[in-house]
Amino acid sequence: MAVSVVLIALGLTVVFSMVLIYQIWGQRSTAGLSASLIAFLMVAVIWWTIFYGLEIVSSTEGFKQFCFRAKFLAIVFIPVFWMLFGLQYTGRLQWMTARRIALLCIFPGVTTLLIWTNELHGLMWTYLGVGDIGGISLVTSITSTWFWVHSAYSYVLIMTASYFLFRQFAGSPGLYRRQLVALLVSVIAPMIANAVTIFGNQPIDYTPFAFAVTGLALTWGLLRFQLLELVPIARNLVVDSMTDGVIVLDAQGRIVDLNPAANQIISGITPDAIGKRLIHVIAMMDAQLDLTRWSATTGEIQDELVIGEGANQRTLDVKLSSLYDSHHKLSGRVVLFRDITDRKLAEQQIRHQNEALVTANHQLVEARKQAEHATQLKSQFLATMSHELRTPLNAVIGYSEIQLMGIAGELSGKQREYQDRILANALHLLGLINDILDLSRIEAGRMDLLLTPFNLQTWLDEIVLQNRVLAEEKQLVIEASIDPRLPEVIVADSERLKQVVINLLSNAVKFTQEGSVKIAVTRNDVDTLKIDVQDTGIGIPIHAQETIFEEFRQVDGSSHRQYGGTGLGLAIVRKLVVMMGGHIRLKSEVGKGSTFTIVLPLKAEISKTTTPEAMVQLETETL
Ligand code: ADP
């Protein structure tokens, strides 16, 4: 063989190796240690190739022998690099402790030592000389014991690494398989070449040329399939650390891979299940699943799988996706599943609570209807009763007055006193009955407002007049005023409005011992008018400011004894004001006085939709 051919081959090997180093050096950020190891490996290959070339071209025997020995530095360490690459690339990182790496290097270290001290013991070679082999001047040798130890050791490392790589890729989908081919070619090529050199008694060492093939295969694998970028181990790490279960099936539905989460979620699916058909494994677990649907469909399936019984029953959300190769042929399936038992239970609880709420709501609506009906019946009853009571009561009042006037003869002192009491109580009773009648009319929806235009001043004078006697008895002056911005005539139910204001004014007079009572009618804004009834009386404590608007409520029981009254006045006032489309509010402080304020629409409208309660705006600040 011509020297030039060998040298060209060696030169190509160096170029390929350099290209590869250049390529993978750029990939270190993504491929990490694997890329560095391949780079080291290729540096070793270049070392071997260069010294092999120098051995060929050198003219002195001494230098030839030096190059021969120097190239062995690469030869002995290349299997170690391969081994480390195989371990790293297949995820056996935890094996690569510094101690183990050091152990791996013991044999190559000893071999290197023996190579350079061979003259002393002849353990590597019994003879080393220079000879002409096929027209090429090379170092010839007769190998000795340690050479075979070194060869055996190298093959064990390379075979082990190949085994790991093969196992790693055997179950991987198509893309990884092609990476495997690239990798295996790169591993097997130098092995075969080396074997041929050693056992075939060949004059030339073909191994460095084979490494050209290795370089080519790795470069191809790297550029074409991103050999190092799509490192399967990265995928495995992701899949293994996922909380969702993952099962990979082949085209026949056999389990080829599963992650730890799959085993955790479905205890029946252990790594032992690999190789078995998933459907059989699930069938053994007594899962309620439409298996025919699963096995027949090739697209995407989302299903719920119930496994186990009683307290151990679990619901899984299962997603099955099909994988296709480049010829659109089904190559396998991936089953992803997660445990949704807790979510299902929570959903069920919410559903039950919702149902309970709907039922409670129905019951409430029913109860409300009944209550409304009962209120209406009560109001109707009271309206009728009040009417029936008033007639005889009017007779009592009428005859008492006649007797007191002396029409039926002169009364003795005692008789007059008794008649006075009869009349006072009858009048109180009549007031009470009138109030009840009004309230029940409003509640029964039988009170209609009669809107008429009336003169505001005349209307106010009448109100003041009605309260004057009582006020003068207590030396109180009623100050009444009307805002000049208001029209002289307004439209409202004058009688009902009068009832409202008289109620407030008589309360003001009743609960004031000294000071003043004021009534002011003002324009509130364009659409509303405001009536303030203000006194300097006993005031209303904060806790009672809300309740006094309810029926039969007074600030305290003594109020009834001391001031009389029924506790119905303000309840009627509020209901009437709301009917008129307005609202009432109160400001009061105990010992200083109270101000009741009514705000009404200027063009009075009848409001039946507003609830009286919603309309009361109470202000509890100090006056
Ligand atoms: P009554 O017929 O008892 O006056 P009301 O409904 O008109 O019934 O008033 C309820 C209670 O509110 C009164 O008993 C009284 O305790 C309190 N009250 C009403 N107006 C005043 C006021 N101007 N000053 C002090 N307390 C008042």
* Best of 540, 574, 588 for a ligand 1 pocket test (most atoms within 8 Å of beta carbon): 540
Query: Residue 530 forms beta bridges with which residues?
Result: 522, 599
Which numbered atom of ligand 1 lies nearest the CA of 538?
25
Highest mean pLDDT out of 87-96, 289-298, 551-560 = 87-96
Mean pLDDT of the chain: 81
> What spatial distance separates the first Cα and last Cα of the chain, rounded to whole Å?
122
Confidence of residue 615 (pLDDT cuts 50, 70, 90): very low
Q: Is 535 in the pocket of ligand 1 (CB under 6 A)?
A: yes
Q: Where are the beta strands (DSSP E) in 144-244?
A: none
Of 432, 474, 507, best ligand 1 pocket probe by most atoms within 8 Å of the beta carbon = 507
Which of 16-20, 297-301, 349-353, 521-525 has the lowest average pLDDT? 297-301
With a 6 Å cutoff on the Cβ, whether 559 touches ligand 1 is yes
Which residues, 6+ apart, have CB-to-CB distance to 277 below 8 Å?
A: 252, 253, 254, 255
CB atoms within 10 A of CB 380: 15
Write down the pTM of the prediction. Answer: 0.43
Q: What is the DSSP string of 32-99?
A: THHHHHHHHHHHHHHHHHHHHHHHHH--SHHHHHHHHHHHHHHHHHHHHHHHHHHHHHTT-GGG--HH
Q: What does 182-204 look like in DSSP terms, one character per residue?
A: HHHHHHHHHHHHHHHHHHTT-SS
Residue nearest to atom 20 of ligand 1 (CA): 507
Distance between Cα 554 and ligand 1 center (Å): 6
Positive/negative CA dihedral, 2, 8, 11, 17: negative
Give φ, ψ of 527 to 5 degrees: -100, -10
pLDDT at 410: 87
CA of 616 to the centre of ligand 1 (A): 16
Residue 464, amino acid: V
- Is the CB of 554 inside a 6 Å radius of any atom of ligand 1? yes
- Crossing angle between the packed helical segments 413-443 and 341-405, to the nearest 10 degrees: 150
Asked if residue 396 lies in contact with residue 426, where contact means CB atoms within 8 angstroms, the answer is: yes
Pocket flag, ligand 1, residue 594 (CB < 6 Å)? yes
pLDDT digits (tens, 9 = 90+) for 136-175: 788 888 889 999 999 899 889 988 888 887 776 665 555 4
464: CA distance to ligand 1 center in Å? 19
As beta bridge partners, residue 198 has none
Q: Quick check: 515 and 479 in contact, CB under 8 A? A: no
- Summarised one tens digit per residue, pLDDT across range 12-53 is 888 878 887 887 776 665 555 667 777 888 888 899 889 988
The two structure tokens encoding residue 42 = 């290729």
Atom of ligand 1 at shortest range from CA of 533: 23
- CA nearest to 10, candidates 44, 45, 40: 45
Atom number in ligand 1 closest to CA 508:
23
Ligand 1: centre distance to CA 511 (Å): 8
Contact 260, 240 (CB under 8 A): yes
pLDDT (average), residues 538-555? 85
Instruction: Give the H/E segment covering residue 289.
Output: none
